[in-house]
Each structure stands twice: as structure tokens, then as C-alpha cells.
């Protein structure tokens, strides 16, 4: 038993969907979140800068005495994870491999869709990992740049969300994928309209859910689970506090309003 | 007569709408554009960082021997313009004052709307300037975070644009404004659906147009106009080249495709 917190970080607030999944599966754990909202987005920055920023965040979380860190950010997971794992003496889990593994378990027709930001799709990171495990997989990718601002604006339930989904995903739907990787931590906020669009016939892979399973396994194997009977504490930190942050905190966590604290890492 | 180019810069590619207006009014002028697409957006950065970045860009443009600089970026115009004017020996024009002046000329019922990014609306910069010239003005403001990605995705003509406009502006329309300041350089890309929404009954203030008039006056007064008979040359520079940049270049300039050159200022 180990009551130290689990650290979760993202370039912004999308990673809160990952925090939410960990919370669901491991309600007793204390959780600390850091969102680098002053320097978001990372997708347009160089690998070197992304790794430097991620390193600063890991050091902040280590000072908070975390027992495990989740890099709940696709950009950090694809650019900096191996560096972070080598340089810090703590288990660090990204969001890409867990999503890929879950998708491979779920697909029956071996045709997987991948959606994400332009930078994630351009990186081909998901495609490369999927093909590594099965060269014959069919993969259909699509960048969906409107999904993040729609989620951040709390418009997931609106007709705008439905139209944006139709705009981006009509072709992928026609190709008969049976599994869709939500390759951006914001996208689980659009889970309901996405399920509606695909008439629940497509498995939606929420990497946060996939990550939470791995976190539980890892903590359990190492005897690091926190088995208290009351709910764990959630602490939120951001580098800039604005309305978007408060919006997403409200829509994602559905807990009584938690006000994030502001911390500068510069 | 002076054939040195005019420099125009922005944190990203929205400022191309300002370049376009200058081009329309002053077709003989050579134009150099710099978009800091690797470090966009500026809206979430500190005043100090914004001013440092803007200074780097001004120095880059000075090396290109420009005769006048337009800061075609709301964030730079509101945070760093006075610093830049003091520190560099060249006329530098922002986008906020010209838009405000034009709106004050156009409004008859003295009720002006202002739309922009969250950071521009939060700054209250337009409101303060408007009220400074007329304390009795009625002002209705609204942040419209979806407009930038919709414009960047080339979706200005789509039903998504219409729905987003309805979502953000129905209340402002009901308040009977007669003039609307487009307080973000991306927004002129949505001019057509905005005109349709307001049934052409509201003056849309395009700050790029307002800026182009001031640029012409200033160059004319100082005898710096370039009066060649053939069209001036346009050169585009960005700090990162991606599909969004190419999309906006295509949609904004409607010239035969110009491929921007990549320059790092770091």
C-alpha cells in the first residue's frame, strides 16, 4: 500500500479525460494534474523544446512525491517518452501504446481508423505502431482540427459538433472501419456524438481508459496501490488559468468545481 | 518614390487578411510578410515574451530593408506596440486603433459590437479605446473561439460556419448593434457568412481595410509611395510551414499559390 499520488500531465487540459478514467478505475488514488496551459499547444514546437518542457513538468511532479507519472499528451508521448523514461527514476506511461494495444484487441475486421490533431496525424506515430504489430492491417487516418475547440467550448452536445463529425468522418465511416482510435486526449469529450454518428457500430478507443488499465496493473504488480476506503484527493495545477481551462474542468470532471492552482515552470 | 517593401507580421497567418487589404489599396507596393507559425498563438503568452518575439520579427523585417511595418496581430498591437514604436526607428502601425477609428466613423446608433479571441475580449482593449472617445457608446462584446479554426480549415462557406456564427452572435444581433469590429485578423475570412447573418444591415469593420487606409496616408504624406506601373512583389516568410499555413495562404490571397519560405528566429 502506497498513498503517494499519481501524477498526470498534458500540454493543456485535454489530459483531464485521462485523469477521469484513472479516477473511475482507481477511485482511492490521490491524483495530481499539471496542464501547461501557458505554453499550449506543444504540437507546433520542436522535439527539443517539447522534451525540455516535459522534463520541467516531470520534475515538478517528482517534488510532489508522485509514485507514477502519466504523460497524458500525444505530442509528449510521441516525442519525449523514451527520453523521460531514461532520465527519471519513476514509471512513466504515455497514451499512444495503450491505445494501440486496446485497438488491436478490439478490431475484428482488421480495419482501424485513427483521428487526431494535424500534428499527430502528420507524425504517423499510430500508423507505424499499428503496422509494426500487423502489416496487413487496414488503417484510415483523418485530422480533425475543429474537435479540440468544440470540446473546449463545451459544444460537444451541439449541432455544431454533429456537423463537424459528419464533415470529417463521413469518408472513414463509408470505408467500414470497426474500431476508431481517439488519438487526442480531448476527443473523449465528443464520445456521445461520435457514438451516435457511428450508430454504436464502431469501437471508440479512449486512450485514457486504456491507460487506466495499465496504471492499475503496474501499481498492483509493484504493490503500490492505495487501498484506503475513502475517495482519493484530486489536485489540479496549470501554468495559466483562463475560461477554457475552467470550462474543460467542469465538463470533464463533472465533480463539484475544483479551482486549479497556477504554477509557472519558466 | 520609394520601392522598399512594406513589412507585415502576425503570430500566425491571420495577418494575411491585412496584407490582402494593403495589396488591394496599394497594388504597386512590394510586401514582405512574416508569420510566427512555430510559436503561435501569442494570446496565451506573457507580455514580456510577446514583446521579445515581436522585437525579433521587427529586426528580421528591418534587415529586409522595409520602409514601414504593420503589426497585423491583435495581441502584439495591444501588448507591445508602444515599446516597438519607441525602440525602432521606423513607422510601426497596429491593428487596433485603425479599427476603432473606422467603427466610430461608421456607427450611427452608437452601439458597437466587438468580437475576437478570448484573450482579446478579456483584455478589454477595444472597449477601453472606444469609451475613451465616447463615454456614452453602447458596446457588446463576444469571444468566438471557433472562428479561427473554422477559417483556417477553409470552412468559411460551410454550414458549420453558419451555425457557429448563429451560436455566438444571436444575442448581439438582438441587441441591435449597427457596427461590428472584427477584432481578430482571421475573421475577415468569415465576412460573407457574417454579412448573410446580419442581412448586410451591420457594418463589418475589417481592421485590415482600416490599416490599409492609414498606411496609404502615411506613405503619401512622407513621399514614400512606390509608384511603379507593374504589380509589387509579395514575399512570405513563416517560422513553421504546415497545411494550415498553406490553406490560409490559398484562401486569403487568392493569388496563384505562393510557397512561404521558412525562417527560424530562435
- For cell 472597449, name the residue: B127
pLDDT at A241: 84
Do A33 and A244 meet the contact criterion of CB atoms below 8 Å apart?
Answer: no
pLDDT digits (tens, 9 = 90+) for A84-138: 999 999 999 999 999 999 999 999 999 999 999 888 898 899 999 999 999 999 9
* Calpha distance B7→B64 (Å, rounded): 9
Q: What is the pTM of this model?
A: 0.86
Phi, psi of A8 (to 5 degrees): -130, 130
* Chain-chain contact of A242 with B118 (C-beta, under 8 angstroms): yes
| Lookup: cell for B89 | 526607428
Q: Is the pLDDT of residue A68 over 90?
A: yes
Task: Choose the closest CB to B163 out of A46, A118, A159.
Answer: A159
List of residues 6+ apart from B62 with CB closer than 8 A: B88, B90
Q: Is the pLDDT of residue A255 over 70?
A: no
Confidence class for position A257, pLDDT limits 50, 70, 90: low
Do B124 and B191 meet the contact criterion of CB atoms below 8 Å apart?
Answer: no
Q: Of the given ranges (A67-76, A111-120, A175-184, B242-251), which has the lowest mean pLDDT?
A: B242-251
Do the interacting molecules here have an ipTM over 0.85? no
pLDDT at B17: 96
Mean pLDDT of the region A183-207? 96
Mean pLDDT of the region A27-56? 89
pLDDT digits (tens, 9 = 90+) for A9-25: 999 999 999 999 999 99
Dihedral (C-alpha) B44, A15, A185, A165: value to the nearest 10 degrees?
A: -60
Task: Choose the closest CB to B244 out of A39, A45, A118.
Answer: A118
Do A4 and A67 meet the contact criterion of CB atoms below 8 Å apart?
Answer: yes
Contacts of B167 in chain A (CB under 8 A): 155, 158, 160
Confidence class for position A227, pLDDT limits 50, 70, 90: confident
Q: What is the rounded average pLDDT for all residues in chain A?
A: 93
* Calpha distance B216→A134 (Å, rounded): 62
Mean pLDDT of the region B12-16? 93
Mean pLDDT of the region A239-248? 83
Mean pLDDT of the region A174-197? 96
- For cell 528566429, name the residue: B265
pLDDT at B255: 64
pLDDT at B135: 96
Domains along the sequence of chain A with CATH: 6-95+209-262 (3.40.50.1860), 96-207 (3.40.50.1860)
Confidence class for position B126, pLDDT limits 50, 70, 90: very high
* Chain-chain contact of A160 with B145 (C-beta, under 8 angstroms): no
* Chain-chain contact of B160 with A160 (C-beta, under 8 angstroms): yes
Q: Exposure pattern of A44-80 as b/e (b: 16+ CB <10 Å)? A: bbeeebbbebbbbbbebbeeeebbbbbbbbbbbbbbb
Residue B25 class from Cβ within 10 Å (0-12 exposed, 13-18 middle, 19+ buried)?
A: middle
Amino acid at each position: 500500500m502506497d498513498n503517494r499520488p499519481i501524477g498526470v500531465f498534458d500540454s493543456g487540459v485535454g489530459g483531464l479525460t485521462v485523469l477521469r478514467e484513472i479516477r473511475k478505475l482507481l477511485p482511492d488514488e490521490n491524483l495530481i494534474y499539471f496542464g501547461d496551459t501557458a505554453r499550449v499547444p506543444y504540437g507546433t514546437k520542436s522535439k527539443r523544446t517539447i522534451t525540455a518542457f516535459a522534463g520541467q513538468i516531470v520534475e515538478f511532479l517528482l517534488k510532489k512525491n508522485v509514485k507514477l507519472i502519466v504523460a497524458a499528451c500525444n505530442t509528449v508521448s510521441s516525442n519525449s517518452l523514451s527520453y523521460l523514461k531514461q532520465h527519471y527514476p519513476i514509471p512513466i506511461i504515455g497514451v499512444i501504446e495503450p491505445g494501440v494495444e486496446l485497438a488491436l484487441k478490439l478490431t475484428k475486421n482488421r480495419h482501424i481508423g485513427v483521428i487526431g490533431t494535424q500534428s499527430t496525424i502528420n507524425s504517423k506515430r499510430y500508423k507505424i505502431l499499428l503496422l509494426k504489430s500487423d502489416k496487413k492491417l487496414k488503417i484510415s487516418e483523418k485530422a480533425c482540427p475543429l474537435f479540440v475547440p468544440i470540446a473546449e467550448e463545451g459544444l460537444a452536445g451541439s449541432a455544431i459538433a454533429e456537423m463537424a463529425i459528419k464533415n470529417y468522418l463521413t469518408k472513414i465511416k463509408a470505408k467500414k472501419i470497426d474500431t476508431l482510435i481517439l488519438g487526442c486526449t480531448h476527443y473523449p469529450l465528443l464520445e456521445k456524438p461520435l457514438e451516435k454518428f457511428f450508430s454504436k457500430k464502431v469501437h471508440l478507443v479512449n486512450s485514457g481508459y486504456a491507460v487506466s488499465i495499465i496504471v492499475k496493473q503496474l501499481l498492483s504488480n509493484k504493490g503500490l496501490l492505495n487501498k484506503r476506503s475513502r475517495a482519493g484527493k484530486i489536485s489540479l495545477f496549470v501554468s495559466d488559468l483562463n475560461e477554457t481551462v475552467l470550462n474543460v474542468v467542469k465538463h470533464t470532471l463533472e465533480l463539484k468545481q475544483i479551482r486549479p492552482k497556477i504554477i509557472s515552470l519558466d
